[in-house]
Chains A and B, each alone.
Chain A
Amino acid sequence: QKEVEQDPGPLSVPEGAIVSLNCTYSNSAFQYFMWYRQYSRKGPELLMYTYSSGNKEDGRFTAQVDKSSKYISLFIRDSQPSDSATYLCAMLDTGNQFYFGTGTSLTVIP
């Protein structure tokens, strides 16, 4: 079993839709949870960062962590064509090592 599981998609939604991206994990020691966005031919860029359980909102983006279920989500409201990218979840263990999901490819259709 992989440490982090993420549905690869692809996911295609109309502009303005609410997008939900999800990851599950198996290591209960993970404390730091992040979402990265990667555009084609670019490196990943940090989108959201959360420590432990709870919600965090930043503009149209909301990150949610449920440690009891070992489940994290990223919600994108009022999705825009510029949101079309691959979204990677990432978790940090106590040894400062990251574990990444394989990424979900999102296309927002105008």
Chain B
Amino acid sequence: KAGVTQTPRYLIKTRGQQVTLSCSPISGHRSVSWYQQTPGQGLQFLFEYFSETQRNKGNFPGRFSGRQFSNSRSEMNVSTLELGDSALYLCASSLENANYGYTFGSGTRLTVV
């Protein structure tokens, strides 16, 4: 069974640009969550989508947004990129809830220069 697929794996963007990251969850998983991982802060929760609706949201500015499509695939967008947005962005999928844990993708490494 295919795992969680994130594209692209690596991105280099310039300050002020915007970026869109994509995530395809495991087949049958309807919940998709996004995390930002940095060496200093660890994993920080961005948001969770379930059945095309945002169900939970972390404490990130409005420049970070996401959406989920009817096939459960999800995208996240970051506008007006800042140097501090450089991080590994991880997508995780689960069944309706995450009581039995997430399955993570390998992440998208975003570098803002």
Chain A residues in contact with chain B, CB under 8 A? 32, 34, 36, 41-46, 49, 51, 88, 90, 92, 95-98, 100-103
Contact = CB atoms under 8 A, between A and B. Distances in A.
Interface in B63-113: 90, 92, 97-107
Name A's interface SS.
Answer: strand
B75 to A, nearest CB: 17
A43 B101 contact: no
Interface of B: 4, 31, 33, 35, 41-43, 45, 48, 55-56, 90, 92, 97-107
Given A43-B4, A43-B104, A44-B104, A92 B98 contact: yes
Contacts of B48: 96-97
Contact of A95 (B56, B103, B105): B56
Nearest to A34: B101
A43 B55 contact: no
A4 B100 CA distance: 19
Majority SS at the chain B contact face: strand
A104 B104 CA distance: 18
Interface centre among A34, A43, A98 (most CB of B within 10 A): A43
Contacts of B98: 32, 92, 96, 98
Nearest to B58: A97
Nearest to B33: A98
Contact of A45 (B35, B55, B99, B104): B104
B42 A32 contact: no
Nearest to A97: B56
Residue from A51, A96, A100 having most chain B Cβ neighbours under 10 A: A96
11 contacts: A32-B99, A43-B90, A43-B104, A44-B90, A46-B102, A49-B101, A88-B43, A96-B55, A97-B45, A102-B41, A102-B42
A103 B42 contact: yes
